[in-house]
Amino acid sequence: MLKLREVVAAYGPIVALHGVSLEVPEGSIVTVLGANGAGKSTTLRAISGLLRPREGSIEFEGQRIDRLSAEQIVSLGMSHIPEGRQLFSELTVLENLRLGAYSRFAGMASGIREYRQRRRDFEAALKQVLEYFPILAERKNQVAGTLSGGEQQMLAMGRGLMARPRLLLLDEPSMGLAPMVTREIFEIIHTINRTQGVTILLVEQNANLALEIAHYGYVLETGRIALADTSENLRKSEAVQRSYLGQ
């Protein structure tokens, strides 16, 4: 579904990715592990179009996307839930969710029928998101900035799902959350993948949890892929245990 080949990406003169290649098969959960500054977030930014790769190619469902803008890429069926959530903190929960669906409804409806169809689509997507995250229904009219950390992460994910993506890029969903909340979020990620068949590329510091739900994993070290294997094998690997699983 997603293929990166020798992707080089940089912030000005600082090269963050030195030729990263990875693959995400359809229907799977793939995780990218690595220390701070290894280039995990940069990888996601390059995929979603926030950062234009300097070299290499990125293919999504057989189509080259490395020269497209972030605005175009989201409408192809890929949602990026960025590091630090990046909510619209002064807008309400419902407004955030509405914006999540923006890419599907950009531009004027061409008639009353299309308008109604869009409404139905939106309501259906909203209903589904609120089923995953019932707390968001209760907080519907609350300003996003006043939510707790866990609720904010749920809103960020809900907003991403409103675009009905086939591929979800998730950047550190556990950041700053209590272990209980993190576990809940990971269960939901697992459910989204299983029941809806949404493919997930998950960047995570919490290697234990990530390898528990992922099918496949990559280890990123200073902008290069150091290891790539099934989660099972990665969990057994001595190098991973030493550096990332704290054993």
Partner 1 sequence: MDEFLQQVVTGLATGSVYGLLALAIVLIYRTTNVLNFAQGEMAMFTTFVAWTVLQRGEYWLMFPLVLLMAAAMGGFIELVIIRRVEGAPVLNIIIVTLGLFAILNNVATWRWGGIPKGFPAPPEIQVTGVKFFGEGALDIGPTVVSYHDLTILVFAVAIMAALYLFFQYTPLGLAMRATAQNPIASRLMGIRVGRMLAVGWALSATVGAVAGLLIAPLILLQPPMMMGVLLYAFAAAVLGGLDSPVGAIVGGLIIGVSENLVGTYTPKEWLGPDMKLTVTLLIIVVVLLIRPTGIFGRRALRRV
Contact positions toward partner 1, by CB under 8 A? 48-50, 69-71, 74-75, 79-80, 82, 86-91, 95, 98-100, 102-103, 105-106, 159, 163
At its nearest, how many Å lie between partner 1 and the CB of residue 80?
5
At its nearest, how many Å lie between partner 1 and the CB of residue 224?
26
Count Cβ atoms below 10 Å from residue 236 Cβ, excluding itself. Answer: 11
Structural contact between residues 56 and 65, judged by C-beta atoms closer than 8 angstroms: no
d(CA 127, CA 123) in angstroms, rounded, equals: 6
Cβ proximity to partner 1, 75 vs 195, nearer residue: 75
Structural contact between residues 217 and 230, judged by C-beta atoms closer than 8 angstroms: yes
At its nearest, how many Å lie between partner 1 and the CB of residue 104?
8
At its nearest, how many Å lie between partner 1 and the CB of residue 86?
4
At its nearest, how many Å lie between partner 1 and the CB of residue 70?
4
At its nearest, how many Å lie between partner 1 and the CB of residue 26?
22
* Helix spans in 53-172 (H): 70-74, 93-100, 102-105, 112-132, 134-138, 149-161
Count Cβ atoms below 10 Å from residue 155 Cβ, excluding itself. Answer: 25
Structural contact between residues 202 and 218, judged by C-beta atoms closer than 8 angstroms: no
d(CA 206, CA 185) in angstroms, rounded, equals: 13
Cβ proximity to partner 1, 93 vs 211, nearer residue: 93
d(CA 40, CA 35) in angstroms, rounded, equals: 8
d(CA 40, CA 34) in angstroms, rounded, equals: 7
Cβ proximity to partner 1, 15 vs 70, nearer residue: 70
Cβ proximity to partner 1, 140 vs 242, nearer residue: 140
d(CA 163, CA 128) in angstroms, rounded, equals: 12
Cβ proximity to partner 1, 162 vs 213, nearer residue: 162
Cβ proximity to partner 1, 88 vs 132, nearer residue: 88
Please report, as a single letter, which amino acid is at residue 32: V
At its nearest, how many Å lie between partner 1 and the CB of residue 153?
14
Cβ proximity to partner 1, 118 vs 215, nearer residue: 118
Structural contact between residues 158 and 100, judged by C-beta atoms closer than 8 angstroms: yes
